[in-house]
């Protein structure tokens, strides 16, 4: 009873209060400057009815999935390798430390130069935004494997391969999951940026396009959808994580 109240009712009331205040406040301004929630809902309906919305959502999700998968496929193996081989890590770490603080957005001019306009620059930016969290958490998870796990493995005579596959990877796994989680967040945030800068489709482009026509209601509709989709991806990730956690034998 109490958990239902705390988990659903109270958050729902908070959202309702927010929407109400927004609605009241918006009345004091012209809708082109500050649209009300009702205007935004109508804008979503309009975009949905003429099909623009669904096409753009589909494109954005596809770009995000492609870039995120590439980041995972590149980041995890590289992270496992660098986490295991301290010397290689030490050699390459300065390079990582210099490249990492450069915002993916700053790569945009080069990305357009190299890949042209279209999917590629946006995908490249999402890739960069997701890659570092995956790489760095994987490295630190491998390095953080408790020494006693390795001692046990050596003591029982497990070889390097068995130790890597059966001890280090599973021991690092929960930490890697955290990285995958962070990467979803940073990747999704940069999706909009990437699409605003150079793409001709997707949610980010939809927002820029609406601004050019002074459709503030559609700008907000785009923002709201980006938020909601981000939340949905986050939730899906959490569910996946819990299922994995149960299989891994760590208390969820």
As measured in angstroms, the least distance from the Cβ of 3 to another protein is: 23
Q: Is the dihedral of CA 108, 75, 190, 101 positive or negative?
A: negative
Nearer to another protein, 51 or 157 (CB): 157
240's enclosing H/E stretch is helix 216-248
Nearer to another protein, 56 or 163 (CB): 163
Nearer to another protein, 34 or 164 (CB): 164
Nearer to another protein, 116 or 170 (CB): 170
As measured in angstroms, the least distance from the Cβ of 187 to another protein is: 27
Nearer to another protein, 37 or 174 (CB): 174
As measured in angstroms, the least distance from the Cβ of 248 to another protein is: 5
Q: CB-side exposure of 90: number of CA atoms within 13 Å? A: 3
As measured in angstroms, the least distance from the Cβ of 202 to another protein is: 39
From residue 18, alpha-carbon distances to 59, 101, 232 in Å are 30, 35, 20
Q: How does DSSP assign 214-236, residue by residue?
A: T-HHHHHHHHHHHHHHHHHHHHH
Instruction: Tell which residue, 189, 177, 162, has the closest CA to residue 104.
Output: 189
Q: CB-side exposure of 10: number of CA atoms within 13 Å? A: 7
Binding-site ranges for another protein (CB under 8 A): 148-149, 151-159, 162, 166-167, 170-171, 173, 248-251
As measured in angstroms, the least distance from the Cβ of 148 to another protein is: 4
């Amino acid at each position: 009873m109490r958990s239902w109240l705390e988990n659903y009712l109270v958050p729902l009331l908070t959202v309702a209060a927010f929407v109400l205040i927004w609605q009241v406040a918006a009345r004091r301004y012209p809708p082109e400057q500050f649209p009300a929630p009702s205007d935004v809902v109508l804008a979503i309906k309009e975009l949905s009815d003429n099909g623009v919305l669904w096409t753009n959502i589909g494109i954005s999700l596809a770009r995000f999935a492609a870039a995120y998968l590439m980041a995972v496929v590149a980041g995890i193996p590289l992270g496992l390798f660098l986490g295991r081989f301290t010397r290689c890590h030490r050699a390459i770490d300065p390079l990582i430390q210099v490249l990492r603080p450069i915002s993916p957005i700053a790569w945009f001019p080069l990305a357009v130069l190299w890949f042209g306009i279209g999917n590629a620059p946006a995908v490249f930016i999402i890739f960069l935004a997701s890659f570092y969290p995956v790489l760095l958490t994987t490295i630190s998870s491998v390095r953080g494997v408790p020494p006693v796990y390795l001692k046990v493995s050596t003591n029982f005579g497990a070889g390097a391969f068995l130790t890597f596959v059966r001890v280090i990877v599973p021991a690092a796994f929960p930490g890697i999951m955290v990285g995958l989680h962070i990467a979803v967040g940073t990747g999704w945030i940069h999706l909009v940026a990437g699409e605003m800068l150079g793409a001709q489709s997707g949610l980010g482009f939809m927002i820029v396009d609406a601004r050019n026509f002074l459709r503030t209601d559609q700008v907000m509709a785009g923002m709201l959808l980006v938020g909601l989709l981000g939340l949905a991806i986050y939730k899906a990730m959490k569910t996946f994580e819990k299922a994995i956690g149960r299989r891994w034998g760590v208390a969820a």
